Chains A and B, each alone.
Chain A
Amino acid sequence: MARDELARTVPAPATAGAGARPVVARTKGVRKVYRSTIAVDGVDLEVPEGAVVGMLGPNGSGKTTTIRMLLGLVRPTEGEVELFGQPMPESAESTLPHVGALVEGPGFHPFLSGRDNLLRFAAAEPLLPSAKITAAVTNALELVGLTAAADRRYRGYSLGMKQRLGLAAALLVPRKLVVLDEPTNGLDPAGTREVRRIIAELHARGTTVLVSSHLLSEVEATCTHVIVLSKGTVVAQGELSELLEAGNPTLEVVTPDATQAVEALRANRIPARLAPDGILVDLVTTPAPRVIETLVQAGVSVYEARRKRTGLEDLFARLTETQSDDLPTDLHLNDVDHVGVA
């Protein structure tokens, strides 16, 4: 898929222009080079206020580097970074107090308990009055379900508990923006659901959430917007629903009576064509139940019917559901120009 073709299918991201939602975080032409490695190259992204933005991409696609630049932890080699309209990292002291972040996994000291680790970081939170520190820590521990383990040493925590403690640190203070880098790493299914619940709650409160993941399913379940990164560049961004709807919706029907099925559908003015295991039906004018109904009435045996992935959905899936090691060869994206740059 060529860049132009993709660009056309992707709706323009929300901008700060008249009528559009304000942008909480923005990067303009950001590039980060570590010695000879280009981690991020020309990333323009916007995080609209109140959105849950999923940053999707395989390992090594530049998600964490981009997040680190947004938080002012790393200064970009080129380009501009803005949080709440203020330049980063210069405005860290006015913007970051409003931002909760879990970046690159939780970072705590093993010899302290979970509570003591949190108390330590709570002391550094500019918006937390000294008198409220203890209560804020207790609430955050409760929020992530760590109350029972709060006074055990961090050393003995499971991976999931460590991740929860990191989440608790990000939620110590009322936030305008919460940035979560791979928040479900190491969590069991119940923990994953809890993270989704917390993200949904943040969204309901109007807090903007930026969450990175290498799993499409994760992003589909929680996000309103999506930014897809591959090899340090943005390959798509916009509202999740619009991105997924882009392209023609198609129903794939598995049936032994393919020819009969196509004839039956065409008789009802539903466009359909033959496919290896059955038929493909165009859903632009007809909803899926109507298609099935027509087939059943025509006496066609339907073994299976599923919505076929559109081009972009297929792209996400290939970007996010394969092992990153397998990616470079089978991805025919627009990044030919990056090969050999390093």
Chain B
Amino acid sequence: MTAIAWDETPEVTDRRHRAPLSRLVLAEVRWIFRRPRTLVVLALLAIFPPIIGISIVLAGPGEASGEAPLFVAAATSALSIPLGSFMMLMSLFLPLAVAMAGADAIAGEQSVGALRGWLVAPVSRGRLLAVKVFGVLAVALVAAGLVALTGLTTGLILNGMDGIITLSGTTLGFADGLGRIGLAVAWVTLQLLAVGAVALAISTTTEHPMLVVALVLGGLIVSQVLSVFDSLSWLHPFLLPEGWVAAMPQLMRDPVSLDLLGEGALRAACYVVIGLSLAYARIVTRDG
């Protein structure tokens, strides 16, 4: 125990003081990536593509007996493992990662009483939400980037770097392949940000992070079920996961077909705008 060692106490004026936004974002990102369960989820995401790759290799000799059909070649091209991983992980695991981030961002902070620590610092509610959106975006980007990275690495180890065979039968150069992976990461990140925006909106209304995760994943599952019924086709354009499965193979075609990807991106952007508007409306009126 020591005495208070403060410098001169500054006088109060009506000047507004704000901590630099970059400092807040840095603190937020540090906090997110030191949370053990975030790291566990990211680690599981990262080992998924190698597991797919190994499974294909192990299953390979049986299927590829005799002359290798094109689809086997395509399924084992360096591009197919990251894109295939995205296809599978988008159904649950990647959205789970961002739903957790969105839940912890506000509901999780509130549940341990840390949210008022920010508010009395003070960080204005609008800036606080902006920082939280950055955090969720960081998780989405890191999650998608990790899957792409380990997926591509696995694909390259298994197939070599020369020539990536597309679903259309043509062969791509390495740079072109990388470009497509980059496009996939950007597109998946946007989709995940849409999920994160919805999670943030729910997060501002509760102090139970589990409730946020349950509602977001529940909503996704319901959307996926609804998208199966043709009688509800009028509803399908409004469902976020619509096209998640169909979009990835588009990147394996030559030339890339952008219709589905563009439509999905627009849909995700709408979800981001609506989700964040609701989150903002709630966070500025909520009792801290």
- Using CB atoms and an 8 Å cutoff, list the residues of chain A in contact with chain B: 68, 71-75, 84, 86, 91-99, 101, 103-112, 116, 119-121, 123-128, 130, 139, 142-145, 169, 171, 173-176, 194, 197-198, 201-202, 205-207
Q: Among A84, A92, A106, A116, point to the contact of B12 (Cβ < 8 A).
A: A84
CA distance A99 to B124 in the complex (A): 15
CA distance A124 to B115 in the complex (A): 12
Tell me how far the C-beta of A200 lies from the nearest C-beta in chain B, rounded to whole angstroms: 10
Residues in chain A near residue B10, CB distance under 8 A: 98, 127, 174
If A93-B16, A142-B2, A201-B3 touch, whether A107 touches B113 (CB-CB below 8 Å) is: yes
Q: Among A73, A108, A174, point to the contact of B6 (Cβ < 8 A).
A: A174
Q: Which of B16-63 contact A (CB under 8 A)?
A: 16-20, 23-24, 26-27, 30-31, 34-36
Residues in chain A near residue B122, CB distance under 8 A: 72, 92-93, 96-97, 126
Judge whether A112 and B31 touch: CB under 8 Å: yes
Output the nearest chain B residue to A125 by Cβ-Cβ distance: B121
Output the nearest chain B residue to A142 by Cβ-Cβ distance: B2
Judge whether A73 and B19 touch: CB under 8 Å: no
CA distance A71 to B121 in the complex (A): 10
List 11 interface pairs A-B (beta carbons < 8 Å), by A numbering. Answer: A71-B120, A73-B120, A91-B14, A95-B12, A97-B17, A109-B112, A120-B31, A123-B24, A124-B121, A124-B123, A207-B9
If A142-B2, A174-B9, A205-B9 touch, whether A107 touches B31 (CB-CB below 8 Å) is: no
Interface of B is mostly: loop
Tell me how far the C-beta of A190 lies from the nearest C-beta in chain B, rounded to whole angstroms: 10
Tell me whether B230 is interfacial, beta carbon within 8 Å.
no
Interface of A is mostly: loop
CA distance A4 to B114 in the complex (A): 43
Residues in chain A near residue B118, CB distance under 8 A: 121, 124
Tell me whether B67 is interfacial, beta carbon within 8 Å.
no
CA distance A94 to B2 in the complex (A): 30
Judge whether A94 and B4 touch: CB under 8 Å: no
Tell me whether B119 is interfacial, beta carbon within 8 Å.
yes
Beyond the given pairs A123-B19, A127-B10, A142-B1, 19 more chain A to chain B contacts, judged by CB atoms under 8 angstroms and listed by A's residue number, are: A68-B288, A71-B120, A72-B122, A72-B288, A96-B120, A97-B121, A98-B9, A106-B113, A107-B114, A107-B116, A109-B112, A112-B31, A123-B27, A126-B17, A176-B9, A176-B12, A197-B1, A205-B4, A206-B9
Judge whether B18 and A98 touch: CB under 8 Å: no
Tell me whether B8 is interfacial, beta carbon within 8 Å.
yes
Judge whether B121 and A109 touch: CB under 8 Å: no
If A93-B18, A139-B5, A205-B9 touch, whether A112 touches B34 (CB-CB below 8 Å) is: yes
Q: Among A103, A125, A171, A197, point to the contact of B116 (Cβ < 8 A).
A: A103
Judge whether B117 and A73 touch: CB under 8 Å: no
Residues 44-88 of chain B: 1 if any A CB is under 8 Å from the residue's CB, otherwise 0?
A: 000000000000000000000000000000000000000000000
CA distance A71 to B122 in the complex (A): 10
Listed from nearest, the 7 A-B pairs whose CB atoms lie closest are A107-B113, A126-B17, A73-B288, A123-B27, A124-B121, A93-B16, A174-B6
CA distance A205 to B3 in the complex (A): 11
Residues in chain B near residue A116, CB distance under 8 A: 34
Residues in chain B near residue A175, CB distance under 8 A: 9
Give the total number of A-B pairs whose CB atoms are below 8 A apart.
137
Q: Among A94, A107, A173, point to the contact of B115 (Cβ < 8 A).
A: A107
Residues in chain A near residue B35, CB distance under 8 A: 109, 111
Q: Which of B81-135 contact A (CB under 8 A)?
A: 112-124
Output the nearest chain A residue to B20 by Cβ-Cβ distance: A130
Tell me whether B231 is interfacial, beta carbon within 8 Å.
no
Residues in chain A near residue B117, CB distance under 8 A: 107-108, 121, 124, 169
Judge whether B23 and A198 touch: CB under 8 Å: no
CA distance A143 to B116 in the complex (A): 22
Output the nearest chain B residue to A95 by Cβ-Cβ distance: B12
Tell me whether B7 is interfacial, beta carbon within 8 Å.
yes
Judge whether A104 and B4 touch: CB under 8 Å: no
If A107-B113, A111-B34 touch, whether A92 touches B2 (CB-CB below 8 Å) is: no
CA distance A86 to B5 in the complex (A): 28
Output the nearest chain A residue to B36 by Cβ-Cβ distance: A111
Residues in chain A near residue B36, CB distance under 8 A: 111
Tell me how far the C-beta of B101 lies from the nearest C-beta in chain A, rounded to whole angstroms: 14
Residues in chain A near residue B30, CB distance under 8 A: 120
CA distance A98 to B24 in the complex (A): 19
User: Which residue of B15, B26, B115, B122 has the most chain A CB atoms within 10 A of its CB atom?
Assistant: B122
Tell me how far the C-beta of A286 lies from the nearest C-beta in chain B, rounded to whole angstroms: 43
CA distance A28 to B15 in the complex (A): 24
Residues 137-167 of chain B: 1 if any A CB is under 8 Å from the residue's CB, otherwise 0?
A: 0000000000000000000000000000000
Q: Among B12, B19, B114, B115, point to the contact of A98 (Cβ < 8 A).
A: B12
Tell me how far the C-beta of A46 lies from the nearest C-beta in chain B, rounded to whole angstroms: 16
CA distance A68 to B119 in the complex (A): 11
CA distance A248 to B183 in the complex (A): 84
Output the nearest chain B residue to A34 by Cβ-Cβ distance: B287
